[in-house]
Amino acid sequence: VGVLLTRTLTRPLRDLTQAIQSMTEGRLKQQVPVRSADELGILSESFNQLSSDLARSHDLRRQMTADIAHDLRTPITVLRAYIDGMRDGTLKPTPVRFDAMQVEAEHLQHMVEDLRTLSLADAGELPIQRTQIGAGVLFERLIVANTPRSAAAGITLRSEIEPGLPDLL
C-alpha cells in the first residue's frame, strides 16, 4: 500500500519534471495529465497553461521577426537597385532618384527606431510620459493625421465636440 501511495503521489511530479526537461531542450508545448483536483492537479493545470502561453508567445515572436525582416528587406532592395543602377550607368543620378532614396533611408530609420522602442517596451524600460490633452485637440490631431487617406477615399472628416469635456490623461 505504501508503494502504491508513493507512486500515486510522485507520478504527477515525475510528469512535471519530464515536461520541464523537454521544455529546457526547446520543446515548449508540453502538457501533463491532470490526475486530481488537489494541489498537484492545480499545479499541473497551471503548468499546462504556462506551457501553452509560452509556446504561443514563441510562435508570435517568430512571426514578428519574419515580418520585421520582410519589412526591412523592401527599402533595402529599393536602395540597392538605385545604387546598382547608378553605379553601372543604367540610371542617371537625378534629384528625383536621390529624393526617392532619401525617402527609403528615412523609412528604414523609422523602422529601426520602432524596433528600438519595441525592445525597450519588451524589457520594461520604455519611459511613458502621461500628459493631459483636451478631447477637441486630440480629435483635431486625428483628423489632420488621417485627412490624406480619407480624402483619397472621398471621405471628409470633421469633429463635433461638446464644450466643457474634461481633459484626457
What pLDDT digit, counting tens, does each position of 130-151 carry?
888 888 888 889 989 888 888 8
Q: What is the pTM of this model?
A: 0.53
Burial 36-55 (b: 16+ CB within 10 A, else e): eeeebeebbeebbeebeeee
The average confidence (pLDDT) of the chain is 89
Q: Where are the alpha helices (DSSP H) in the chain?
A: 2-24, 39-88, 95-122, 135-152
For 43-77, the pLDDT digits (tens) are 999 999 999 999 999 899 889 888 988 889 999 99
Are the C-beta atoms of 157 and 150 separated by less than 8 Å? yes
